[in-house]
C-alpha cells in the first residue's frame, strides 16, 4: 500500500555534511560476514544521525519494505531509474537497474533519456555528478541526504580555494594542474574546470597523471592522498617529491622551498574504509593460504598496494576475480558489501575480505530500504523528495573538467 504524502513541494536545502562519529563508525562493524536486515528504527538505536522520515517507514519490517518497493517500482515503470553503487547494502542493490562505480553509474544515468527520475543509491557527490551529466528536465534524487562521503568532506571548497591561492602566490600562475578524484564535491570539480584541471577515477588516474605531467607542471591532487601517492609512485616519482597539504596549517604545513621542489602536492584526505587494510593482514592471509592472490583498491595505503598482487578500481577487482580460475583463493582489500557480493556470485572460489572485522562504508550504509520506499511513494504521490540540483555555473565548470577526462581515456 502506498503511503499518502502531502503534495506541497518540499524545499531541500544544501545538505550539511554529517560527520561520521566514532559510534557510527563502529555501529555496523562485526566479525560476522553478514549484516542482518532490521528496521530503520532499530538502526537509529545504534546512535546514528541520519535524515528523519515519517515514523511509519522507520517501523516497517524489511519484508514489508521489500514488498512496498517492488509494488512502487512496478507502478512507476520506466519513469524511474535506480542506480546502485557497488558498496550499497544487498537489500537496496537488488532494486538497482544498474550497478557500478560512481562514474559508470553517472554515465548510465545520462543515457536514460526516458527516465523522469534518477534515484542514486550512493552518496552525495555521486548524485551531483549524475545531475551534471543528465538532462535538465530529469530529477536526480538521493534517498538519504545525510549519505555523504567522508573523503569528499575532507576537501572543503573554501579550504581548497585558499590552497589554490597560496600555491599561486608561492609558485606563480599556471604552474600547477589540479586533478580531483571523482570522489569530490561538484564545487571541487568546478575549481578544476576553471583552472585547466581535470577529474579522474581510480581506473584512469594513471592516464590523467600522464596528461598533466606532459605539461611539465606540478600536480595538486584532491582529495585522496593515497590514490595520488600510489599513482605518482607508479609513474616513478620519488616519495620526497610528493608532499602532503594539511589545510589546517599555513602553506599546508610546508615551506616555500618544499612547495617549489615538489612534483605532486597531495591533499590530506583518505577513505575511512580502505585505510583499515594493513600489511599484517596480508601477511596473515599469505601464511594461512600459500596460494592466495591479494587484490586491493588504490585508495589503500602505498605499503598495502605494493604488497598486493593486484591493485585497481572496484570494476577491476570485480572483473579480475570473476575471470579467475575455479578453486582460486582471493583476499580482497575493499568494502565488505562488494566483497560479499563477489563471493556470492563466485561460489566456486574462496573469496574473503582482508580485514577480519567487517565494516561497511558507513556513509553508503545510510541508504536503508526505508528511504527508498519513502522516495518512491513520494513520486507516486506527485512529491519529489531529496532532489539534488547543481547550480548552472558549477555545473558548467564541472562539466569542463569531466569532459577533459573523457577526451583522454
Q: Would you give the end-to-end CA distance of the chain in angstroms?
A: 47
pLDDT at 109: 83
- Report the pLDDT averaged over residues 163-174: 97
Q: Decide if pLDDT at 34 tops 60.
A: no
pLDDT at 163: 98
pLDDT at 23: 45
- Report the pLDDT averaged over residues 249-274: 96
Q: Which of 391, 363, 377 is nearest to 122 (CA)?
A: 363
Name 110's Cβ contacts closer than 8 Å, sequence gap at least 6: 130, 133, 134, 135
The model's pLDDT over 230-242, given as tens digits with 9 standing for 90+, comes to 999 999 999 999 9
The model's pLDDT over 41-95, given as tens digits with 9 standing for 90+, comes to 988 888 777 899 999 999 999 999 999 999 999 999 999 999 998 888 889 999 9
* pLDDT > 70 in the chain, percent: 91
Q: Decide if pLDDT at 383 tops 50.
A: yes
Task: Taking each helix axis as running N to C, give the angle between helix 186-194 and helix 124-133, from 0 to 180 degrees, rounded to the nearest 10.
Answer: 50
Q: Decide if pLDDT at 305 tops 50.
A: yes
- CB-neighbour burial class of residue 91 (10 A; exposed 0-12, middle 13-18, buried 19+): middle
User: What is the side-by-side strand order in the sheet with 139-141?
Assistant: 98-100, 80-85, 117-121, 139-141, 387-388
Average of per-residue pLDDT values in the chain = 90
CA dihedral 70, 71, 74, 78 (to 10 degrees): -70
C-beta neighbour count of 178 within 10 angstroms = 28
The model's pLDDT over 330-357, given as tens digits with 9 standing for 90+, comes to 999 998 889 999 999 999 999 999 998 7
State the pTM of this model.
Answer: 0.88
CA distances from 166 to 157, 173, 190, 225, 363 (A): 14, 11, 18, 19, 32
pLDDT at 49: 77
Given pLDDT bands bounded at 50, 70 and 90, which one contains residue 105?
Answer: confident
pLDDT at 189: 98
CATH numbers and ranges of domains, the chain: 22-148+362-391 (3.40.50.10800), 155-269 (3.40.50), 274-353 (3.40.50.10800)
SS (HEC) of the chain: CCCCCCCCCCCCCCCCCCCCCHHHHHHCCECCCCCCCCCHHHHHCCCCCCCCCCHHHHHCCHHHHHHHHHHHHHHHHHHEEEEEECCCCHHHHCCCCEEECHHHHHHHHHHCCCCCEEEEECCHHHHHHHHHHCCCCCEEECCCCCCCCHHHHCCCHHHHHHHHHHHHHHHCCCCEEEEEECCCCHHHHHHHHHCCCEEECCCCHHHHHHHHHCCCCEEEEECCHHHHHHHHHHCCCCHHHEEEECCCCHHHHCCHHHHHHCCEEEECCCCCCHHHCCHHHHHHHHHHCCCCEEEECCCCCHHHHHHCCEECCHHHHHHHHHCCCCCCEEEEECCHHHHHHHHHHCCCCEEEECCCCECCCCCHHHCCHHHHHHHHHHHHCCCCCCEECCCHHHHHHHHHHHHHHHHHC
Looking at per-residue pLDDT, the higher value among 79 and 16 belongs to 79
Lowest mean pLDDT of 38-42, 185-189, 298-302, name the range. 38-42
Q: Decide if pLDDT at 21 tops 70.
A: no
pLDDT at 103: 79
pLDDT at 20: 44
Amino acid at each position: 500500500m502506498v503511503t499518502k504524502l502531502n503534495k506541497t513541494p518540499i524545499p531541500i536545502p544544501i545538505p550539511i555534511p554529517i560527520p561520521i562519529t566514532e559510534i557510527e563508525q563502529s555501529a555496523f562493524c562485526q566479525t560476522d560476514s553478514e549484516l542482518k536486515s532490521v528496521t530503520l528504527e532499530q538502526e537509529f538505536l545504534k546512535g546514528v544521525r541520519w535524515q528523519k522520515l515519517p515514523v511509519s517507514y522507520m517501523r516497517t519490517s524489511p519484508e514489508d519494505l521489500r514488498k512496498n518497493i517492488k509494488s512502487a517500482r512496478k507502478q512507476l515503470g520506466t519513469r524511474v531509474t535506480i542506480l546502485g553503487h557497488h558498496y550499497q547494502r544487498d537489500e537496496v542493490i537488488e532494486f538497482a537497474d544498474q550497478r557500478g562505480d560512481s562514474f559508470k553509474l553517472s554515465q548510465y544515468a545520462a543515457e536514460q533519456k526516458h527516465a523522469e527520475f534518477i534515484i542514486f543509491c550512493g552518496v552525495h557527490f555521486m548524485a551531483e555528478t549524475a545531475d551534471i551529466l543528465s538532462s535538465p528536465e530529469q530529477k536526480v534524487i538521493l534517498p538519504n541526504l545525510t549519505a555523504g562521503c567522508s573523503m569528499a568532506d575532507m576537501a572543503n571548497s573554501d579550504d581548497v580555494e585558499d590552497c589554490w591561492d597560496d600555491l599561486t602566490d608561492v609558485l606563480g600562475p599556471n604552474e600547477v594542474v589540479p586533478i580531483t578524484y571523482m570522489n569530490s564535491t561538484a564545487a571541487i570539480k568546478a575549481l578544476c574546470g576553471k583552472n585547466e584541471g581535470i577529474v579522474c577515477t581510480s581506473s584512469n588516474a594513471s592516464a590523467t597523471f600522464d596528461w598533466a605531467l606532459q605539461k611539465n607542471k606540478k600536480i595538486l591532487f584532491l582529495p585522496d592522498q593515497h590514490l595520488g601517492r600510489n599513482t605518482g609512485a607508479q609513474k616513478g616519482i620519488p616519495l620526497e617529491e610528493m608532499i602532503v597539504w594539511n589545510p589546517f596549517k599555513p602553506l599546508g604545513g610546508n615551506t616555500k622551498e618544499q612547495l617549489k621542489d615538489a612534483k605532486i602536492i597531495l591533499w590530506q584526505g583518505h577513505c575511512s574504509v580502505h585505510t583499515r587494510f594493513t600489511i599484517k593482514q596480508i601477511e596473515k592471509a599469505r601464511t594461512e593460504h600459500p596460494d592466495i592472490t591479494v587484490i586491493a583498491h588504490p585508495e589503500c595505503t602505498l605499503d598495502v598496494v605494493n604488497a598486493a598482487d593486484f591493485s585497481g578500481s572496484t570494476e577491476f577487482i570485480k572483473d579480475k576475480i570473476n575471470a579467475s580460475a575455479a578453486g582460486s583463493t582471493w583476499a580482497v582489500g575493499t568494502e565488505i558489501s562488494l566483497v560479499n557480493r563477489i563471493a556470492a556470485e563466485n561460489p566456486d572460489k574462496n573469496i574473503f575480505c582482508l580485514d577480519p572485522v567487517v565494516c561497511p562504508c558507513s556513509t553508503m550504509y545510510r541508504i536503508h530500504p526505508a528511504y527508498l520506499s519513502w522516495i518512491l511513494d513520494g513520486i507516486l504521490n506527485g512529491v519529489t523528495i531529496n532532489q539534488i540540483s547543481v547550480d548552472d555555473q558549477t555545473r558548467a565548470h564541472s562539466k569542463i573538467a569531466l569532459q577533459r577526462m573523457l577526451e583522454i581515456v
